[in-house]
C-alpha cells in the first residue's frame, strides 16, 4: 500500500469534528416518510488528502420533529473540509441526524464515486425499518 499503513488515527478521523448545528421543526402529521437526497457530497480521504465525491440519501419517518433543510445543507457542506472515510460518513451522519430529530426510523445511504475502478456504497439504519423499505429507484 503506497504511503504506509492505515492507522487508528486515520480510522477515527472526522468522527468528532465539530459540524454546523442541525435544526428541526415540529412534525404536523403522523405516519409519513421523508426522503432527502444530497447528490453533491464531498469529503476528504484522511489518508491521502484526496477528495471523495458521492451522493448521500436519507429516508426517515418523523416522530415529533422534521429535519430543517437549510441547516441540513450547511451540515452536509461542512464535510468538504473534513478528513473522514466514507464508511464513517454514513454512520456519523446517521448518528447526528437521529440525535437531532429522534425519528421512528431512519436509513442513510452513501453512494461514492468510483476511484481506482471501485464504486463504494455504505448504508446504516436506525430503529425498526419497514421490511418493504427501499429508496426510490432514481436514488439507487
Domains by residue range for the chain, with CATH? 23-129 (3.30.1130.10)
pLDDT at residue 10, rounded to an integer: 86
Q: Which long-range contacts (CB under 8 A, 24 or more apart) does 11-18 make?
A: 11/85, 11/88, 13/46, 13/83, 13/84, 13/85, 13/88, 14/43, 14/46, 14/79, 14/82, 14/83, 14/84, 14/85, 14/88, 14/89, 14/92, 15/84, 15/88, 15/92, 17/82, 17/84
Q: Report pLDDT digits (tens) over 51-86.
A: 999 999 999 999 999 999 999 999 999 999 999 999
Range 121-127 average pLDDT = 97
Looking at per-residue confidence, does 127 or 137 come out higher?
127
In a 3-state reduction of DSSP, which class is residue 129?
A: coil
In the numeric block, which cell numbers belong to residue 131? 421490511
52, 66, 81, 96: the catalytic one is 52
45, 81, 96, 102: the catalytic one is 45
Range 111-127 average pLDDT = 91
| 45 labelled catalytic | yes
Q: What is the mean pLDDT of the chain?
A: 93
| 66 labelled catalytic | no
pLDDT at residue 3, rounded to an integer: 58
Spatial separation of the C-alpha atoms in residues 137 and 123, rounded to whole Å: 16
Question: pTM for this one?
Answer: 0.92
Amino acid at each position: 500500500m503506497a504511503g504506509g499503513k492505515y492507522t487508528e488515527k486515520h480510522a477515527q478521523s472526522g468522527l468528532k469534528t465539530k459540524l454546523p448545528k442541525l435544526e428541526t421543526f415540529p412534525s404536523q402529521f403522523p405516519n409519513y416518510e421523508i426522503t432527502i437526497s444530497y447528490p453533491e457530497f464531498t469529503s476528504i480521504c484522511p489518508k491521502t488528502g484526496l477528495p471523495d465525491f458521492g451522493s448521500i440519501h436519507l429516508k426517515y419517518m418523523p416522530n415529533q420533529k422534521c429535519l430543517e433543510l437549510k441547516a441540513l445543507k450547511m451540515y452536509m457542506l461542512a464535510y468538504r473540509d473534513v478528513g473522514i472515510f466514507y464508511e464513517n460518513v454514513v454512520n456519523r451522519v446517521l448518528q447526528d441526524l437521529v440525535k437531532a430529530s429522534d425519528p421512528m426510523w431512519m436509513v442513510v445511504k452513501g453512494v461514492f464515486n468510483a476511484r481506482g475502478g471501485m464504486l463504494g456504497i455504505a448504508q446504516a439504519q436506525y430503529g425498526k425499518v419497514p421490511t418493504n423499505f427501499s429508496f426510490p429507484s432514481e436514488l439507487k
